[in-house]
Amino acid sequence: MPVTLAAPAVAASPPPWSTSAAAQPLAPADERAQIIAGLLDEPARISPKYFYDERGSQLFEAITRLPEYYPTRTEQAVLRRHARAIAQAVGRGGVVIEPGAGSCDKARVLCRLLGATHFVGVDISADYLGGAVARLRAALPGLDARAVGGDITAAIELPGDVPQDRRLVFYPGSSIGNFDPPAALALLRQMHALAQGEGGGLLIGIDLPKDLAVLQAAYDDAAGVTAQFNRNILAHVNRLIGSDFEPGQWRHEAFFNTAASRIEMHLAACGPQQVRWPGGGRSFAAHERIHTENSYKYPLPAFLDLLTRAGFRQPQAWTDERGWYALVHVRT
């Protein structure tokens, strides 16, 4: 099913690093420095968190509807199939906190299932999140729903009147796989701290190892939506650091790294590229890559061990019939 979103308007001139473009607000200096350091690295890299500007968030929602992209519908099937057991494990009521909340569609299902009293969505794309939380409030009028713009890899500050007890951190979509194991452990420890309090816990989705053809198709769909999503990161970086990437001159590549048990996504230069930003730049040779994402596929026992190391206890896991995907609940 082809899915195409309209391309954003792009000014023909001047280039983003020029004097007249400098009036446009860029990212804070320390953030620009981090992005530029990644671009100057060997190989170059961009953090996957920069996928999620407003357009990137829209593209990702389109990806979740593609026939090749199994994680979303498989996770939904696990939640439907085991709804009663999950609700019994988590308990009724309480606060649902979703880092990287995006559209809040999964949160709506969970909050309704649990009869949650409060919801806090956190996302780097604050404008997109604000609209999603407004729709969540309309769907669940009794729910106290808040939107917090922020980077989930940094310390998350919740509104002061959010209850301290009965906090459930909800991290669906196998997004934990975007972090290498040390970073994943650090993020899980942060989630453990966020859920501290009586009755606190974590409900997290993980993508399990499976047939390589299934994995490859999920990250390189026939309609090219994932390719649009991957290239959009360059447009976002242009706005953040004032660079002049031409996204159409980069090719989407995705493959499974068997040794690391992860899908890797890259952008490869279609030809020699000279990219500039205020105060610097970099040349890229033809076919040279920028590494944009990893998606680790953890065997369930290995991931349960990671949760234990993060301080969680009493794991309960539910999977689909094929054993492709798991939802895991743990207590603090």
pLDDT along the chain (332 residues), means of 10: 37 39 73 97 96 93 96 95 96 94 91 96 88 94 92 84 95 94 95 94 97 96 98 98 98 96 97 97 98 97 98 97 97 96
Cis peptide before 181 (omega within 30 of 0): no
What pLDDT, on a 0 to 100 scale, did the predictor assign at position 95?
Answer: 97
**pLDDT recorded at residue 24:** 58
CA dihedral 267, 273, 277, 282 (to 10 degrees): 90
The pLDDT of residue 138 is 94
Residue 295: what pLDDT?
Answer: 97
Identify the pLDDT of residue 22: 42
Residue 287: per-residue pLDDT: 98
C-alpha 224/C-alpha 203 separation (Å) is 31
Q: Which amino acid is at 258?
A: T
By residue count, the chain amounts to 332
Which residues, at least 6 apart from 50, have a Cβ–Cβ distance to it below 8 Å? 35, 56, 233, 236, 237, 240
In this prediction the pTM is: 0.84
* Among 33, 14, 22, 39, residue whose Cα is nearest residue 233: 39
**Tokens 């033809």 — which residue?**
286
- Beta bridge pairs of residue 263: 256, 295
Output DSSP code: residue 254. E
Tell me the CA end-to-end span of the chain in Å, nearest whole number: 42
